[in-house]
Amino acid sequence: MDTIERVEHTLARVAGPTFDPQVYAETGFFILRQAIGKDVVGRWQQAWQDFHAWQLGQGRNVNRANPVALTEELPEVLGKMYREPVFIDTVKQIFGENVALFNHRFVIKDEHSSGKVFLHQDSCYHLGNLNKCSLFVPLSIANEDNGGMTFYAGSHKMGYLGDAGEINPEAFDIRWPKVTPELHPGDFIVMNSSLWHESGPNKNGVHRILADMIMQPADDPTGKELLAGEWKTDFFYSPLNCARYFSNSRVLKIIRYETELGLRAAPTKTD
């Protein structure tokens, strides 16, 4: 059985009430069904409704580079979702007993960000070690009609591709199986950060609300908060504003070129 046949065979077991580390290792993702208690999900949904009415009802500060990423500060109930025991217990099966948070945010498809998100992998946008995963937690239905996510099963096996941006799957001889699962509140997906994924447009106008929690082993010096076990690093650095770590780089060259062309304001000392 070759790689694609093995991945396709394993996809039959990619969803269920209990996490399967072997399936995750083969496909690069796993869907846990109804793994979060209804009372917990209900509390999060109510917090989102209140937050949306109070903070987002009159519009939001849309990040032009990544419109689906919510930039407004979350209320504490939503901002600490990643501490729920089921998430930590699941990730410990990937990383072991010592787990840390890399980042937590919301990615939403609403009237301000209804377009598609191009095919990409997340690893190239992260700092620190490549050994990371995302947990996508829906507070609404998420499917093909409202911009649900599509995963290229097994593509994480290719590792880091050497650049950041839109992946051209036609450039490769291998064709990874595509899966667009329907998610409901109570479900969540665990995804290897190197897995290729994309999302289509929101066609029916139903808001797609997903929390995106990025977790990693506690030996990574970019850890933001210890979630389980103990720290295995005695130094840390911030993944924010990473261009400042270079005196010259591809990103800095682009900034200089765009500045010379008048396409961007000259960088300040805090850029």
- Output the pTM of the full model: 0.93
Please state, for a pLDDT cut of 90, what percent of the chain lies above it.
86
Q: Say whether pLDDT at 148 is over 90.
A: yes
Q: Say whether pLDDT at 196 is over 70.
A: yes
Q: Say whether pLDDT at 197 is over 60.
A: yes
How large is the greatest C-alpha to C-alpha distance in the chain, in angstroms? 56
> What is the length of the chain?
271
Mean pLDDT value of segment 152-171: 96
Q: What backbone phi and psi angles, to 5 degrees, belong to 236?
A: -140, 155
Contact 92, 194 (CB under 8 A): no
Please give the structure tokens belonging to residue 251: 């990103």
User: What pLDDT is stored for residue 46 in this prediction?
Assistant: 98
pLDDT single digits (tens) 51-67: 999 988 788 889 888 99
CATH 2.60.120.620 fits 3-238, yes or no: yes
pLDDT single digits (tens) 172-184: 999 999 999 999 9
Q: CA 122, CA 172: separation in Å to the nearest integer?
A: 19
Mean pLDDT value of segment 61-89: 94
User: What pLDDT is stored for residue 99 in this prediction?
Assistant: 98
Sorted by where each begins, the domain ranges of the chain are 3-238, 241-271
Q: CA 70, CA 146: separation in Å to the nearest integer?
A: 17
User: What pLDDT is stored for residue 263 in this prediction?
Assistant: 60
pLDDT single digits (tens) 235-253: 999 999 898 999 999 889 9
Give the H or E element holding residue 226. Answer: strand 225-228
Report how many helices (DSSP H) and strands (DSSP E) the chain contains, helices first. Answer: 6, 11
Q: Say whether pLDDT at 82 is over 80.
A: yes
Q: What is the DSSP string of 84-124?
A: -HHHHHHHHHHH-S-EEEEEEEEEEESTTS-S-EEEE-SGG
- Report the alpha-carbon angle 209-214-215, nearest 5: 140
pLDDT single digits (tens) 256-271: 888 888 765 544 433 3
User: What pLDDT is stored for residue 271 in this prediction?
Assistant: 35
User: What pLDDT is stored for residue 59 in this prediction?
Assistant: 83
Lowest mean pLDDT among 50-64, 104-118, 220-234: 50-64
Please give the structure tokens belonging to residue 78: 């939503």
* b/e per residue 243-255 (b: at least 16 CB within 10 A): eeeeeeeeeeeeb
Q: CA 74, CA 97: separation in Å to the nearest integer?
A: 28
User: What pLDDT is stored for residue 267 in this prediction?
Assistant: 44
Strand partners, 265: none
Q: Say whether pLDDT at 93 is over 50.
A: yes
